[in-house]
Structure 1
Amino acid sequence: MHLFLLLILHVPAAIGQIDPVDCRDALGMQDERIEDEDLTASSKWYDTTGPQNARLHSEKGDGAWCPKGQLEPSDSQYLQIDLRKLTFLTTIGTQGRYAGGLGKEFAQLYRLNYSRDGVLWRSWKNRLGNQMLAGNINTYNVVTNDIKPPIIARYVRVIPVSRLSSTVCMRLELYGCPWDDGLISYSAPVPSFNDSTYDGVLDRRKLIGGLGQLTDGITGKDDFLLSRQTNMWPGYDYLGWRNDTPGTLEYVEMEFVFDKPRNFTSMKVHSNNMFSRGVKIFSSVSCSFKPHPRLSWEAEPVVFNTVLDDRNPSARYVTVPLNRRAATHIRCRFYFADVWMMFSEISFQSEDAVLPALPTQMSMMGTSAASDVHATTTSAPKTAAAPSSTDSSDDGNTPILIGCLVTIILLLVIIIFLILWCQCVCKVLEKAPRRILDEDVTVRLSSCSDTIILQTPPVPPRSRHPPADPHYERVFLLDPQYQNPAALRNKLPELSQSAEASACGGGYAEPDVTQCTPHQCFNNNAPHYAETDIVRLQGVTGSNMYAVPALTVDSLTRKDISAAEFPRQQLIFREKLGEGQFGEVHLCEAEGLPEFLGEGSPLPDRDRRSVLVAVKQLRADATSQARNDFLKEIKIMSRLDDPNIIRLLCVCVSSDPLCMVTEYMENGDLNMFLSQREIESTLTHANNIPSVSLSDLLHMAVQISSGMKYLASLNFVHRDLATRNCLLDRRLTIKIADFGMSRNLYSSDYYRIQGRAVLPIRWMAWESILLGKFTTASDVWAFGVTLWEIFTLCKEQPYSLLSDEQVIENSGEFFRNQGRQIFLYAPPLCPPSLFELMMRCWSRNIPDRPAFEGLYQALRPHVNQ
């Protein structure tokens, strides 16, 4: 207990709210509390005009800081101030260079950049989006500017701006107060009332990594339609969420990140309570804590229920006790009490004290803590007075102190031993089921009855070698009658039919017409094949682009490949696009490729000496099975010929490493293309904002359906249809590809099963997740999700409200068919008839889903020809 007390550091509690009107203390430029070493600059004329001279009302050196040379309109010369701690900056005052009447340089305009960590820099702008601040009109008068919104930062850069080439010099002072709150960012779903001053990023309808209106010190009025800021839209002071907004059906989840570990006593949330208009304070809040960024969230949250008030419509602060919990990250879920929930300010009260909360933390600190205590006890004689008659009593206490220290050390050793023993036992228990059940893995969902087993498909007795893809898992519900495929097929007629059609194949290869009738092999409803009859190409990128019927040969040679051999030395590598288990995908320049391909070349620019291409390259250490799969993929791709399918142009297989060269589209993938655009409007035209029209979106949908119609006519199953796998050229022609899984940018779109298989579960049909059945019908399901992506402009991930485990659980609801399954919402841009088509793609019964031929015919009339 004494050791714990030695580790506690107490600092006065932080002040929760800051009033920008009162927060105007000089921060120390003029009186030199900000030291010379904290002032740096991008350049200086001479040492006498260095940054140390940029102090208001100071005539040291040559009278100011002056960047070197003539300042050009395009320059970004800066003076940087390190405030040594997070500061709430509200005002700045500037002067020119006076130098006893000899100076005549000043900055008429300037900008501000700032950073909280010295790494990520942000540009300040006012509430209307203007970055410029008015500077000086002479060399001696001080011009003071209020910084609205205020800046929360440790580092500040003042950047003089000149309309014409000229010499400028500056002196300045900063005004504000310490930011004792310690909050450095908050993340939240995008509110219906925009957080217009937020300095983080917007990613998939979520604000991430910044601060904004919740920390600007301005509380909203009782009537949220009235604003304390002039010339602002109604509701400006508040961040508001509706309970029917995507991402906020039951609660709004916010995450708060702090500069260092703190013990939090309370959180204060300024909330609107205008209940006559459907706005109330939150009904309850649940906050979880993370003591360190690398640790997991602690299991026990703090839950607080508010007392709802239906009589007083005044906005008010709600204080949430946080019970002195230690954390660097806090995640809070605010639950709706009505249609709307609106916040204008959030602050935290804390102490800069770290209490050891877990025995594991103490055990890791054991050695250093014991040495600290030892240092404390042994350093005492150095400062002690000369021995006297009173020392005898101290000598009597020495054995007691030694005994306490030995006891503490023994306790720490025992704790460390117990931790190591628990880890060892966990490893043994972890390995035991694998020995018993081979590679069965159990995943528990939120409901006890919804446990599922992820099971690898057995090797069929007639196969001479294991399946090509050991990373794929089949998923079955953990119910006695559902633990084997036969029971499921007996329960679901459509699965029984799929087993009968399994001989037809249905993958990315030539159908074996000797084993089924033409009607069976080429019908638009797509045969449902048995899993064990399918070879799954792992491919270079680690993806399973197409399901392939089992081939009759064990290996392929060069004579089986119809693509031409391209001179390897004419490929110039430019950039790595992605990588997988056995290879990499590169962006390359192919010199002389149009001439090499000759007449009928699919390349649009025949007159260029070199063109951009994508090159899949097999790694030198790839297995023989991967090498054989690579050659099979080449053979299959060389036979695809459709304007909306990526084309194999040539190969390099005469020597290692094996390469295949495919088309590369200038506009990249559809996901990235759409996420950077807005829907076309007069506003986008006026401000030159990249945009697309509704007609463009429909045209994209038609092209994807056309490409998938072609694949379906050959019974080829893509398995990973999504906007990330659709590439665009500069004329917005779409070609379906398979690079998505190989790119780190889209790693969050794939669910990793125990570190092995990766599956795009948010795009997969329920039977693909639960039974491992990939068919043209499951591609139709993915096509519906792809349409949804297109008409949300790829601004969010499908089922963004659900975790990966909940997505799998939702597929179980489709299987049980009790009306509890969750569908994607209708995008605002999507015509009702088109959303109805999406819903048909997500039909629970497989035969009820439309064929790609029907989808193409339904979509084509919507496009303006």
Structure 2
Amino acid sequence: MCSPVYLMVVSFPLTSTHAAQCRYALGMEDGTIPDSDITASSAWSDSTEAKHGRLSTGAGDGAWCPLGAVFPSASEYLQVDLRSLHFLALVGTQGRHADGHGQEFARSYRLRYSRDGRSWITWKDRWGQEVVSGNKNTYDVVLKDLGPPIVARYVRFYPLADRVMSVCLRVELYGCLWNDGLLAYTAPVGHVMHLSGSPVYLNDSTYDGSTEAGVQFGGLGQLVDGVLGGDDFTETKELRVWPGYDYLGWSREALGQGSVQIEFHFQKTRSFHTMQVHSNNRHTQGVRVFRKVECQFKPGLLLPWSSPPLLLAIPLEDLKDPSSRPISIPLGGRPAQILRCQFTFADRWLLISEISFYSVSTPPPADFAATTPRSGLPVAKHDSSNTAILIGCLVGIILLLLAVIAVILWRQYWKKILGKVRRKDFQHDFQNGCYILTFTVDAWAWFSLNSVPYTPPPPACGMDMEKGFPSPTEEPPPYPGAPPYPALSPPSVPHYAEADIVSLQGVSGNNTYAVPALSSPSPTAADCSPLPDLPRQCLVFKEKLGEGQFGEVHLCEIESPQDLPNLEFPFNVRKGRPLLVAVKILRPDASKNARNDFLKEGKILSRLKDPNIIRLLGVCVSSEPLCMVTEYMECGDLNQYLSHRVLLDKTGPAHHAATISYPALISMASQIASGMKFLSSLNFVHRDLATRNCLRPIKIADFGMSRNLYAGDYYRIQGRAVLPIRWMAWECILMGKFTTASDVWAFGVTLWEMLSVCQEQPYSSLTDEQVIDNAGEFFRDHGRQVYLSRPDICPQGLYELMLSCWNRDCKLRPSFAHIHSFLTEDAMNMV
């Protein structure tokens, strides 16, 4: 069998849309591709026919060998049918070894491919070379990185020779399914720009279709190859190619009109939500992004163009920004099989590097059958009686009334739901003369165990109804050196969203959280090992990290951690060096239910033993107040770390600024995904995953909500931080449904933060109320929901992973195991 190490030595472009993730063997070696889909022009014998041309297998005589010599005609080929369109980034070849008896191999070969089985295209590299270097012996596997990659269903290998000789071949294809569904695009031929006497060729050099009368049609090329051009279009990301290679560009003067029309043909009808156009905006050369774009949609080949067309003008500030960047164009979820867009010039030149779509496959339109001729169907007899007409009218009126009533009830129901989401007033439940104030496991308990059922506490009687809570008495410090407790201010606990959602008053935050429906039994004491009880005198107060309604979080030192044999030690600390810890303290005047929940939280946290999760080191429960001692990373949180860095490829050596590279970001994201994979395996739900809650080195925690620094990241009710709505899935905001799938949504936002190096809040252009409205758009699913745009450093393949995390259907979001696997492979190939 072929060792996986062969794949590890291949370097894929960072900017490729699909090549960064499409490197999976498609099934020649492991037999996924059946023998019937492997054919050849001829075979030397039954034991060397096409089905034996599988990489690293030795069936038959060990390879496919054509009947005749491949010189000079070069007409013999081995063909693989992939059954559907695939994006191919890599091919592998091997000679015939046959346990040392084989002597035949191909020193070079050509590739031809087809999307329909009728029109065949010869693959050429970026410099126009057709011949691919092959094998030098009979046993080594040689991998060829396809630059440019190809989209095809059928692939043919044509072995070559420089003299009359016999050759044999084994092959493998590497790629993935072409989910984009794009078959071809039609666009005008690019023009040549003359700068200081030097030509800059802005043509589509890898286009594999036809050209006629200055128009390219029937193929795919550089607009969908995934290579994103930089700010300076005269510099390319590929070696030894000409200036302007990364862009397809048109001159208004040469084109003779004020706009460029590009038409896209897809396999089947799809619902289009967003189009991203990566355009250059180099003002000094008369290059600007398009001023406006007008798109028309054709749902089927036999259907007319939609009317009216969709028109979008580009804001003036986008025209002023001199950097190249992707521009997101909302398409409103309109169905189309053919999409035609007209880009209006804003200056003398328009340069586009890449066009991508966020779309989903849809069934044929409902009126499609009406356009298709139908025969052989029975014809209803004509009934001219007045009775039949009267009955028909009455039935129609009744159905119309029922439909109107259903619409009114539906609108009133969801108006009520969305109204509750946006309500900011405090509602009390009054029963038997007592306000019922409900709360469950600490808001600091950043994990909710799906197996812990929620039990409401009894009515909070015996308190001042004006103030809500009794005023506290002065309490002693929780440990030597700690400051005294501040006086409690009267709380105001909002009743958020639905009736089955309860508020969580936490040790470290004043957050109101929705609690998911829980059914499994809670963990018992037998499930967890006894928690080590630490002496309070070993804790030396350093500073207060944060304060919540029912407690505080302090940064402390343990001066001689090695002297505490019962301390759960997470890592080695040099002798004589203190250990930094975070101490969570429950106020002594907390209710009995809060105390029980605090102890339950300690048992839950004691189960979390993973290298990427903050660990519980011990507790102080022998006397009041109750304390939990956890790890603390002295390097701080990930948000603060990234916000003071710039991306390595955007800062020159003269800037002397702290930098970070793309592989480093992906490595950290992979560690976060690893920690969340561990949590999801235990059915824990974090509910507040963000960079502010990831410490360095990467350990997932939840200090963010307790720090004033991040108060602006939480939606406020009556001036109090409540919900991190910019990281929350739509079902969390509207229905209080917190699951692992909603954590996956938050991970997608966290990954967006990291690739944006924490320079801005998610949805920074939206107010809190607009973010909540956007959640409503996700529920209604009319194509008006807003997604976070792709960061500049983010490859399209990774952005598609983010979009899958934000899928409206929580069942279609990827698992943390899949995310971790994807990021681990991505990080390994970025090093």
> Does TM, normalized by the shorter one, top 0.5?
no
Q: Output the TM-score relative to the length of structure 1.
A: 0.40
